[in-house]
Amino acid sequence: MLRYLNHCSRGRGAWLLLALTALALELVALFFQHVMGLKPCVMCIYERCALFGVMGAGLVGAIAPKTPLRWVAIVIWLYSAIEGLRLSYEHTMIQLHPNPFVTCDFAARFPDWLPLDKWLPSVFVASGDCAERGWTFLTWSMPQWMIVIFAAYLLVGALVLIAQPFRARRRELFSR
């Protein structure tokens, strides 16, 4: 399996699939926001940024998968998955154990050199309450599902990282 993951990480298809899954999740989030009318909170916006990081990792890996740029993509992938998992867990704890002393910010704080909330307000402006459970599926809220999603991204990313030293065996067509 590790040889197979190494082989996949050296092709564009797997990296584009990674980017496509993150894009699909971003589109679902925008559907929930703009069509279903669910207001994203600050934690949702930060989790959305982590998903954009996973998508960016997929695009970076797809640029030149057989070069050392693949390692940069793996690092971005793992960092984004870890941060997304951490944020989703923190968001879940806010929802499951509401406390007036533990709340999220009123607005997302982006660096001055990257004001995403000013550049794309329809995507990055928070207007909801972090403690509100506005949507559930099979009794789990959105941040709980994001824990599962980011854990899956992290697991696959870690396996791809571990698989890097394992080269695929060369197969001869007419071997003895």
Residues with catalytic function: 41, 44, 48, 104, 130
**Distance from C-alpha of 44 to C-alpha of 126, rounded to nearest angstrom:** 8
